[in-house]
Chains A and B, each alone.
Chain A
Amino acid sequence: MSSLSLMVRQIDSLTPRIRRLLLVSTDSRPLPTFTPGAHVELHVPGERIQRRAYSLVNEPGTDYYEIAVQLEENSSGGSRWVHSLSEGQVIQAEPPSNQFPLSDSADHFVLIAGGIGITPMLGMARALKSSGKTFSLHYSGRTPESMAYLDEVKKLEQSNLWITNGNSSKRFPARSVLADPKIAQHLYICGPNQMVNSVLQEARELGWKDDHLHYEVFTGALEQLGDKPFDVFLKESGLTLTVNPDQTVLDVMLEAGLDPMFDCRRGDCGVCVAQVLEGEADHRDICLSERERSLGSFCPCVSRATSERLVLDI
Chain B
Amino acid sequence: MIPTNEQIAELIREDSVHKSVYTDPVLFKLEMERIYGHAWIYVGHKSQVKNSGDYHTTRIGEQDVVMVRGSDGAVNVLYNRCPHKGAKLVADGDGNVGKFFRCPYHAWTYKLDGQHLSAPLKSGFEGTCYDPKHADFSMVSVARVDSYRGFVFASQASYGEDLKTFLGGVITSIDNLCDRSPVGEVEVVGGIFRVQQRSNWKVFYENLHDTMHARVTHESSVDAARGEAEAIGEMPFELLIMDGNGEPYDFWEKLELRAYTNGHGYMEAIFDPAAAERDVVSREHFECLKKAYGEERSREILGMNRHNTVIYGSGSPHTVFMQFRVIRPLSVDRTMVEIQTFRCKGAPDSVFDRALTYANVINSPSSNVMPDDVEVYARCQEGNMTRGGEWISMHRYAGKDITLEDGAISTNGTSELPMRNQFAAWKKFMTATIIAKESTHAA
Cβ of B99: which chain A residues have Cβ within 8 Å of it?
261
Distance in angstroms from A7 CB to nearest chain B CB is 40
Q: Are B123 and A269 in contact (CB under 8 A)?
A: no
Kindly name the residue among A270, A288, A292 whose own CB sees the greatest number of chain B CB atoms within 10 A.
A270
* CB proximity of B137 to chain A, nearest CB, Å: 13
Check B109 against A271 for contact (C-beta < 8 Å).
Answer: yes
Q: B235 an interface residue at 8 Å Cβ cutoff?
A: no
The answer to whether B121 touches A287 (Cβ under 8 A) is: yes
A268 close to chain B: CB less than 8 A = yes
Given contacts A261-B99, A287-B118, A287-B121, A269 and B109 within 8 Å (CB-CB) = yes
Beta-carbon contacts under 8 Å, A261-314 to B = 261, 263-264, 268-271, 273, 286-292
Q: Which residue of B lies closest to A272 (CB)?
A: B118
Provide the bound-state CA to CA distance between A268 and B117, in Å. Answer: 13
Residue among A271, A273, A286, A292 with most chain B CB within 10 A: A271
Pair B123/A271 contact, Cβ less than 8 Å: no
B109, A289: Cβ atoms under 8 Å? no
Tell me the minimal C-beta distance from B216 to chain A in angstroms. Answer: 60
Cβ B122 vs Cβ A292 within 8 A: yes
Known: A263-B109, A269-B107, A270-B109. A289 touches B125 (CB 8 A): yes
Q: A265 → chain B, closest Cβ, in Å?
A: 13
Complex interface: chain A residues within 8 A of B123 (CB): 288-290
Partner of A269, one of B118, B125, B126: B118
Other-chain contact of B122, A261, A263, A271, A289 (Cβ < 8 Å):
A289
* CB pair A271 B125 closer than 8 Å: no
Task: Classify the secondary structure of A's interface with B.
Answer: loop
A271 to B99, CA, bound (A): 10
Q: Which residue of A lies closest to B111 (CB)?
A: A261
How far is A270 from B110 in the complex, measured between Cα atoms in Å? 11
Report the separation of the CA atoms of residues A287 and B120 in the bound assembly, to the nearest whole angstrom. 5
Given A269-B107, A270-B109, A270-B117, answer yes or no on A261-B100 (Cβ-Cβ < 8 Å).
yes
Contacts of A270 in B (CB 8 A): 109, 117-120, 122
- The answer to whether the Cβ of B102 comes within 8 Å of any Cβ in the partner chain is yes
Distance, CA A270 to CA B102, complexed state (A): 11
Name the B residues within 8 Å of A289 (CB-CB). 122-123, 125-126
Of B102, B121, B125, B126, the residue contacting A263 (CB under 8 A) is B102
A-chain residues with CB within 8 Å of residue B121 when the two chains form the complex = 268, 286-287
Min CB distance B230 to A, Å, is 64
Interface size counted on chain B using CB atoms at 8 A: 14
Q: In chain B, what residue has the closest Cβ to A262?
A: B99
Q: How far is the CA of A256 from the CA of B327 in the complex (A)?
A: 49
Chain B, 94-132, CB within 8 A of any chain A CB: 99-100, 102, 107, 109, 117-123, 125-126
Chain B residues near A269 (CB-CB < 8 A): 107, 109, 118, 120
Within residues 176 to 192 of chain A, which ones have a CB less than 8 A from any CB in chain B? none
> Which of chain B's residues have a CB closer than 8 A to the CB of A264?
107
Complex CA–CA separation, A263 to B109 (angstroms): 10
A291 to B99, CA, bound (A): 27
Binary contact readout B78-108 vs A (1 if CB under 8 angstroms, 0 otherwise): 0000000000000000000001101000010
Q: Which of B118-158 contact A (CB under 8 A)?
A: 118-123, 125-126
**Interface pair A268/B100, CB less than 8 Å apart:** no
- In the complex, the answer to whether A288 meets B109 with C-beta atoms within 8 Å is no
Contact of B117 among A271, A290, A291, A292 (CB under 8 A): A271
A303 to chain B, nearest CB (A): 15
Residues of A within 8 A of B117 (CB): 261, 270-271
Chain A contacts for B119, CB-based, 8 A: 270
Quick one: closest B residue to A299, CB to CB? B118
Q: How far is the CB of B194 from the nearest CB of chain A, in Å?
A: 33
Q: Which residue on B lies nearest to A261, using beta carbons?
A: B99
Residues from chain B with a CB closer than 8 A to the CB of A292 are: 122
Known: A261-B99, A261-B100, A263-B109. A271 touches B118 (CB 8 A): yes
CA distance A290 to B126 in the complex (A): 9
Chain A nearest CB, measured from B309 CB (Å): 42
Contact between B122 and A288, CB atoms less than 8 A apart: yes
Q: Which of B61-93 contact A (CB under 8 A)?
A: none
Contact with B along A15-46 (1 / 0, CB 8 A): 00000000000000000000000000000000
In whole Å, how far is A60's beta carbon from the nearest beta carbon of chain B? 47
Nearest to B126 among chain A residues (CB) is A289
Query: Which residues of A have CB within 8 Å of B109?
Result: 263, 269-271
Q: Which residues of A contact B107 (CB under 8 A)?
A: 263-264, 268-269
Q: Within the complex, what minimum Cβ distance (angstroms) separates B114 from chain A?
A: 15
B162 to chain A, nearest CB (A): 34
A-facing residues in B176-195 (Cβ within 8 Å): none
Residues 334-367 (chain B) with a chain A CB within 8 angstroms: none
Within 8 A of B (CB), among A214-271: 261, 263-264, 268-271
Residue on A nearest B123 in the bound complex, by CB: A289
| A291 contact set on B, CB distance < 8 A | 126
Chain B residues near A273: list those with CB within 8 A: 118
Q: Taking the nearest CB of chain A, how far is it from the CB of B431, in angstroms?
A: 48
Q: Given contacts A269-B109, A271-B117, are A287 and B122 in contact (CB under 8 A)?
A: yes
B118 cross-chain contacts in A, Cβ below 8 A: 269-271, 273, 287
A264 to B106, CA, bound (A): 13
CA distance A290 to B122 in the complex (A): 9
Measured between beta carbons, the chain B residues less than 8 angstroms from A286 are 120-121
Chain B residues, CB < 8 A from A271: 100, 109, 117-118
Chain A residue at minimal CB-CB distance from B98: A263
Determine the distance from Cα of A264 to Cα of B102 in the docked complex, in whole angstroms.
Answer: 11
- What is the CA–CA distance of A270 and B117 in the complex, to the nearest angstrom? 8
The distance from the CB of A67 to the nearest CB of chain B, in whole angstroms, is: 35
CA distance A261 to B117 in the complex (A): 10
Ranked 10 nearest A-B pairs via Cβ: A270-B118, A289-B123, A289-B122, A289-B126, A261-B99, A268-B120, A271-B118, A271-B109, A287-B120, A269-B107
- B residues within 8 Å of A by Cβ? 99-100, 102, 107, 109, 117-123, 125-126
Excluding A269-B109, A287-B118, 14 further A-B contacts by CB distance (< 8 Å) are: A263-B102, A263-B109, A264-B107, A268-B107, A268-B121, A269-B118, A270-B109, A270-B118, A287-B120, A288-B123, A289-B122, A289-B123, A290-B126, A292-B122
